[in-house]
Amino acid sequence: MKTTLVLNDELYRQAKFIASGRGCTVSSIVEEALRLLLSTANGVQGPSNPMLAWHVGQPHVDIDDSRAVQDALDAGQDADDLR
């Protein structure tokens, strides 16, 4: 299934670095991390140091409306400014 995720920039860079080192995609790293989280939620012991989450506020564009996002990017808005 295809989906769109909004990730913290540093978290994405770390995932991309790991994926590059393994010779795989960021998607496969995200999938692996999600599987690990879900197995932990089901009672299986996972990592002792969970990842931190950041609240970046409300987006400045409706992120569920791909056309609105594309229009904002086409208008020259920086992707970071859309958050």
Q: In angstroms, how far is CA 26 from the centroid of its own chain?
A: 9
Q: CB-based burial of residue 55 (10 Å sphere; 0-12 exposed, 13-18 middle, 19+ buried)? A: exposed
pLDDT tens for residues 46-73? 555 556 666 666 667 777 788 887 887 7
Q: Compute the average pLDDT of residues 23-37.
A: 91
30, pLDDT greater than 90: yes
For residues 52 and 40, which has the higher predicted lDDT (pLDDT)?
40
Q: Give the Cα separation of 56 and 46 in Å (integer).
A: 26
pTM: 0.48
Average pLDDT score, the chain: 79
